[in-house]
Structure 1
Amino acid sequence: MLKGLRVNILLLAVLGNLAWSFSARANFNGKLSVEIDGLKNKEGQVCASVFASSEGFPSDRDRVLQKQCIKITATPLTITFENLKAGSYAVAVFHDQNNDRILNSNAFGIPKEGFGFSRNPEIRTGAPKFSEAAFLVAGPNTNIQIQLKYF
């Protein structure tokens, strides 16, 4: 009986430590570094938006979790986002050549400026779904690479 009690106590201690370590990891604030490559020139700036759900992805400014626009100083260019909780995110990026903070398009809705998405999904007739661009932030540092596309 004493041996069985020791095994149960040991098992509870191990399970308690596992549960604590998982919850401690889930409560971190992670950093996301987005490397943007494929810029066709250094004019203007690059704007990146982080979305935490499919609502509004990829262009609803009111649904963006975090966003930044930075002047192009080098290629590839890296934009860093701080304080992201563990979870699923998607990033939309565009090369804002005229500094108006809008992805300009022609009369047919085809972008005139470069753009890209996390996980670099294939672009067919429109923007990808959140699920096609989503990636997981599950540690203190997450690095992704986005290749810009131009039409």
Structure 2
Amino acid sequence: MAMSLTMILAMAAQAAVVDPQTADLTVAVSNVRNAKGVIHACLTRNPKHFPDCRGDPLAVRSTVAANAGTLRFKAIPAGAYAITLFHDENRNQRLDMMMGIPREGFGFSGNPRIRFGAPKFRQVTIRVPAGESGQTIRMQYLL
């Protein structure tokens, strides 16, 4: 049985309209030392661009006031991600360091214990399901 051209075009149009499952992720930020400055957040799926998302064209970034308490990533594809936060108290757009030790607060998804350096991507990977979900990240200050 031969299909009509109209049927073939209709089936092709349906196949082309694939609605990927999206997610809205709310991140609660706890243990912020003070209300100075802003919290910068970076969400990435690529271990090569973790922890700072530098050079990742697909990374999602967000900046909120330090006293905001939460930040949101809306309409992101569901999947595995790592989140990095830092408290930019002086608003200079970078994590200030002193002798290799962060002078400003930082945090990662999963709240790993920090010893020396940033954790590995696999240690902080979280699953973000379709729909709404949440994550709490505790800021850490070493100095």
Category of TM-score, reference length = shorter chain: 0.7 to 0.9
Report which of the two structures shows the higher radius of gyration computed on alpha carbons. 1
- Residue 114 of structure 2 is aligned to residue 123 of structure 1: yes
Instruction: Report SS of the residue matched to 1:84.
Output: strand
C-alpha distance in 1 between matches for 2:77 and 2:40: 22
- After TM superposition, where is structure 1 displaced by more than 3 Å over at least 4 residues in a row? none
State the secondary structure of the residue aligned to 2:28. strand
Alpha-carbon distance, 1:84 to partner: 1.3
Deviations 1:21-43 (A, max 9, x none): xxx9x921110111000011000
Matched, 1:73 2:90: no
Q: 1:103-142 to 2 correspondence within 5 Å?
A: 103-106=95-98, 108-142=99-133
Q: How far apart are the structure 1 equivalents of 2:131 and 2:60? A: 17
The yes-or-no answer on 1:86 pairing with 2:78 is yes
**Residue number in structure 2 paired with 1:42:** 35
- 2: CA distance, partners of 1:150 / 1:30: 30
Distance of 2:66 and 2:34 partners within structure 1? 9
Structure 1 residue runs of 5 or longer lacking an equivalent are 1-23
Deviation at 1:144, TM superposition (A): 0.2
**Aligned residue-pair number:** 124
Aligned AA (2:67): T
SS of the residue corresponding to residue 49 of structure 2 reads coil
Deviations 1:40-65 (Å, cap 9, x if unpaired)? 10000110000112011001422261
Cα RMSD (Å) of the superposition? 1.6
Counterpart of 1:59 in 2: which secondary structure?
Answer: coil
Q: Greater share of helix residues, 1 or 2?
A: 1
Matched with 2:22 is 29
Structure number with the higher strand fraction is 2
| TM-score, normalised via structure 1 length | 0.77
SS at 2:55 equivalent? helix
